[in-house]
Amino acid sequence: MSNKTFAYIRVSSKEQNVARQIETMKKEGINDRDTFIDKASGKDFDRPNYQLLKQMVREGDTVVFDSITRMGRNMNDTMKEYEWFVENEVQLRFIKEPMINTNNGQDDIMKQAIQKIILTLLTAFAEKEREEIKTRQAEGIAVAKQRGIKFGRPTIDVPENWNNLYNQWKAKEITAVQFMTEVSMTKATFYRKVKEYEVSK
| Contacts for 201 with CB less than 8 Å, ≥ 6 apart | none
Residue 60 DSSP one-character state? T
* Contact (CB, 8 A) for 67 and 93: no
Residues designated catalytic: 12
Q: Measured between alpha carbons, how far apart are the two ends of the chain, in Å?
A: 53
Based on C-alpha coordinates, what's the Rg of the chain?
25
What gap in Å lies between CA 5 and CA 93, rounded to an integer?
10
